Amino acid sequence: MSDARTQNSTAVHRFAILTSGVTVVLLMAGALVTSNDAADSVPDWPLAYGKIIPPLVGGIRYEFAHRVVAGAVAVLTLILAVWLARTENRRSVRRLGWTALALVVVQALLGALRVLFGHPPIVATIHATVAQIFFITTVALAFYTSPWSRTEIRPLDDAGSPPMRYLALWTTLVIFIQLILGAGFRHGAFGILPHLLGVAVVTFFVFWTARAAKERLGTVPQVRRATILLHATFGTQILLGIAAYWAVAKAIQEVQPTMSYVVLTVAHVLVGALVLASSVLLTLCCFRLIRPHAAATTAASRAIQSQSHSPVP
């Protein structure tokens, strides 16, 4: 790879990381809107009270800040998608860039639907769900634009059951469903019981996956780091979940959201997204490193046949 192409690849990778990082800020801004009961502070869209910059008082400042950060993320995503379309030679990565841009548009339309037509519990839950999908898309783009994802590697065989590829993928799906259940409870679409039951399921899958990854791929630095990150974020999330539940119970008697309620619930939302991102990174590492099960079986069969046809010394 030429120096110019290497520099461009490094720049795209750093820009993808930047986009993903600003998306975390966007998730925080959205969580602040909900935790401060500011979702209905601005009655119009795309303007705010008919102005580009409304009076920044009360809940309006949270809703307006959310829109500003969302606009910044949209611009960054557009630049990233166009950049990838012009310089990336992998079609799948180019398509992922356009997918991220499409998700930004969908999020904007969902935000407008929430403001203009109501149905807060359902639309807000869908809005939060799409936000998580967009976030892990940016995480995937940061992964695929990294130097490691471009290097040639020798695929590894996984003789374990279930295959590590699918175990990591199942864990990611379980965490994603759990975040939907949490968003539904937070926005009033349904109660807390499904979310609490989901905690047990997620805990089982996280420990199962982390143990399998350590036993089968513990010597691979990328997998080891992703596993440590998954453990760290998930452990923090459990503690924050307990603290957030305490804050919610305590805030029921309050007229306005308390500082402890806002801080703990926002942190719970953010770390939940980081748990999902950690699982996504582990899954992507497994899919890149491990040979598909069918291909591994075929390779093993060929090796056996080759040995059986070799001359006996």
What's the one-letter identity of residue 100?
A
Distance CA 90, CA 306 (A): 35
Distance CA 140, CA 153 (A): 19
Model confidence at 71: pLDDT above 80: yes
Q: How confident is the model at residue 232 (pLDDT cuts 50, 70, 90)?
A: very high
Reported as a single tens digit per residue, the pLDDT across 10-39 is 899 999 999 999 999 999 999 999 898 888
- Distance of alpha carbon 299 from the chain centroid: 34
Reported as a single tens digit per residue, the pLDDT across 175-217 is 999 999 999 988 888 888 998 999 999 999 999 999 999 988 8
Question: pTM of the predicted model, to two decimals?
Answer: 0.89
What are the structure tokens assigned to 107, written together?
A: 């999020």
What are the structure tokens assigned to 40, written together?
A: 């209905």
Model confidence at 306: pLDDT above 80: no
What's the one-letter identity of residue 136?
I
Q: Are 198 and 164 in contact (CB under 8 A)?
A: no
Peptide bond just before 46 cis, omega within 30 deg: yes
Q: How confident is the model at residue 234 (pLDDT cuts 50, 70, 90)?
A: very high
Distance CA 32, CA 246 (A): 18
The DSSP 8-state label assigned to residue 268 in this structure reads H
Reported as a single tens digit per residue, the pLDDT across 239-278 is 999 999 888 888 777 778 888 899 999 999 999 999 999 9
pLDDT of residue 143: 96
Helix, strand, coil tally for the chain in percent (to 5): 80, 0, 20
